[in-house]
């Protein structure tokens, strides 16, 4: 497993990674040199002698290797080999090569020009309701939304595969929004500049789908297809705008972390906020003491986005989402209560409940539980600090 470890320079240190376990650890330059010597065939004793010459003092190479093992870097893990030469890697290379990125740029520019130059193409809230039956509108919005999000995250997966790296999709929650999420942990094994493609891939496909829907709408006569396209345009436009919500760790947040070289921005931000609120615990003080000074500076700047952004999101939750949820559930179950599952409207209500109301309720419940845990830890930490 040692021969497959990756070394990526990051500032003054190196990020050591394992393609099999997606485990990563930061080491100083001498640690990177030891790994390179061992990968080239040097014995532990020989690596120790070279390290001692370089450092000017004895270096315990065996202890260093034990540390790598303890971090999971020498474990077999899931046994997943890199994707180089596989169908997924070739598909990713084709969809996210230089020509493809040029096409995405043209499509994104086309979408922007169409929305600015043709007022009739600009989405409105009415476009989110392509059907006369509100329950069908809920189903259409839910299905189109899930497909769009799946395509967005699938783009991250394929762009990562283009680098020969594995990733996987999961269903998660951001604040009180249900979403798909691609695990891009293995991007730590490539230089920072190479990470931008996979991080931008989702928004690139969002813009491409938006542009395609706008162009098809221009060419197709008015009807159900156009109304569904208009609904898709609303969703894609909203998705691109929502990426600016960096306080819920969107793709733009990931780009910010990559551009600034931060590694623990989210944790440092949390520790800094709790210190400002006089609720910092021992873990928070340790986080701030061990964090790079530049990381603390960026965490302080990030709080200016995080605090007001979260406040606006919570206001929206209290004023719109929570009051609307009982109405949404009632709208779904009304035809079922009236006629049982014997009418088309009742089945539409059941589908809408499964596609929209239930996931929203679970996401909100998870957000409330998460907020309570954070509040409890903050209070407990303040009492023990």
The percent of residues above 90 in pLDDT, for the chain, comes to 33
pLDDT surpasses 60 at 213: yes
Q: Using one digit for the tens of pLDDT, what is the confidence trace for 250-288?
A: 999 999 999 998 888 999 999 999 899 888 888 999 999
Cβ 231 vs Cβ 294: under 8 Å: no
Same domain, 112 and 198: yes
Examine the fold and report which residue of 188, 220, 245 is the final residue of a domain before the chain moves on: 245
Look at the block and give the residue holding tokens 């393609």: 19
With vertex at residue 122, the alpha carbon angle to CA 213 and CA 109, rounded to the nearest 5 degrees, is 60
177: in domain: yes
Examine the fold and report which residue of 43, 70, 97 is the final residue of a domain before the chain moves on: 70
Q: In the prediction, which pLDDT does 357 show?
A: 62
With vertex at residue 113, the alpha carbon angle to CA 108 and CA 117, rounded to the nearest 5 degrees, is 155
Q: Using one digit for the tens of pLDDT, what is the confidence trace for 167-193?
A: 877 666 554 455 667 888 888 888 889
Same domain, 101 and 200: yes
252: in domain: no
pLDDT surpasses 90 at 107: yes
293: in domain: yes
With vertex at residue 232, the alpha carbon angle to CA 228 and CA 237, rounded to the nearest 5 degrees, is 150
Residue of higher predicted confidence among 49 and 335: 49
How many domains does the structure of the chain reveal? 3
Same domain, 296 and 377: yes
251: in domain: no
Same domain, 268 and 383: yes
Same domain, 191 and 289: no
Q: In the prediction, which pLDDT does 384 show?
A: 36
**pTM for the whole thing?**
0.77
pLDDT surpasses 80 at 52: yes
Same domain, 88 and 233: yes
Same domain, 34 and 101: no
Q: Using one digit for the tens of pLDDT, what is the confidence trace for 56-72?
A: 888 888 888 888 888 77
Examine the fold and report which residue of 22, 48, 70 is the final residue of a domain before the chain moves on: 70
| HSE-up (13 A, CA, CB side) for residue 261 | 16
Q: What range defines the domain where residue 90 resides?
A: 82-245
Same domain, 184 and 205: yes
369: in domain: yes
Q: Using one digit for the tens of pLDDT, what is the confidence trace for 128-160?
A: 888 877 778 877 887 888 889 889 999 999 999
Cβ 75 vs Cβ 157: under 8 Å: no
Cβ 248 vs Cβ 175: under 8 Å: yes
* Cβ partners under 8 Å of residue 319, min gap 6: none
Same domain, 110 and 235: yes
312: in domain: yes
Alpha helix ranges (H) inside 118-133: none
Same domain, 105 and 42: no
pLDDT surpasses 70 at 296: yes
- Rounded distance between C-alpha atoms, residue 185 and residue 260, angstroms: 17
Same domain, 8 and 151: no
250: in domain: no
Same domain, 222 and 93: yes
101: in domain: yes
């Amino acid at each position: 497993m040692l021969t497959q470890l990756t070394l990526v320079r990051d500032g003054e240190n190196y990020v050591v990674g394992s393609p099999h376990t997606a485990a990563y650890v930061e080491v100083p330059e001498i640690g990177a040199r030891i790994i390179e010597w061992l990968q080239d065939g040097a014995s532990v004793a020989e690596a120790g002698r070279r390290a001692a010459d370089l450092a000017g003092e004895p270096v315990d190479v065996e202890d260093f290797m034990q540390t790598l093992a303890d971090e999971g870097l020498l474990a077999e893990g899931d046994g997943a080999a890199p994707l180089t030469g596989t169908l997924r890697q070739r598909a990713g290379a084709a969809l996210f090569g230089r020509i493809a990125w040029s096409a995405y740029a043209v499509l994104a520019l086309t979408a922007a020009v169409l929305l600015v130059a043709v007022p009739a193409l600009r989405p409105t809230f009415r476009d989110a309701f392509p059907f006369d039956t509100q329950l069908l509108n809920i189903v259409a919005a839910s299905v189109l939304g899930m497909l769009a999000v799946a395509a967005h995250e699938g783009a991250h997966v394929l762009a990562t595969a283009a680098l020969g790296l594995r990733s996987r999709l999961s269903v998660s929650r951001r604040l009180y929004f249900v979403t798909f999420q691609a695990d891009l942990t293995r991007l730590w094994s490539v230089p920072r500049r190479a990470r931008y493609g996979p991080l931008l891939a989702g928004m690139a496909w969002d813009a491409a789908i938006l542009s395609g829907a706008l162009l098809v709408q221009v060419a197709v006569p008015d009807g159900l297809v156009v109304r569904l396209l208009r609904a898709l345009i609303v969703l894609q436009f909203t998705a691109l705008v929502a990426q600016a919500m960096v306080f819920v760790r969107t793709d733009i947040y990931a780009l910010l972390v990559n551009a600034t070289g931060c590694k623990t921005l989210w944790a440092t931000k949390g520790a800094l906020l709790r210190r400002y609120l006089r609720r910092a615990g021992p873990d928070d003080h340790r986080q701030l003491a061990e964090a790079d000074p530049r990381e603390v500076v960026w965490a302080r700047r990030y709080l200016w986005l995080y605090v007001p952004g979260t406040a606006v999101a919570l206001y929206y939750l209290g004023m719109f989402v929570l009051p609307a949820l009982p109405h949404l559930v009632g709208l779904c179950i009304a035809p079922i209560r009236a006629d049982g599952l014997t009418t088309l409207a009742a089945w539409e209500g059941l589908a809408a409940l499964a596609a929209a109301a239930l996931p929203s309720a679970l996401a909100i419940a998870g957000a409330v539980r998460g907020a309570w845990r954070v509040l409890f830890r903050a209070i407990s930490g303040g009492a023990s600090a």
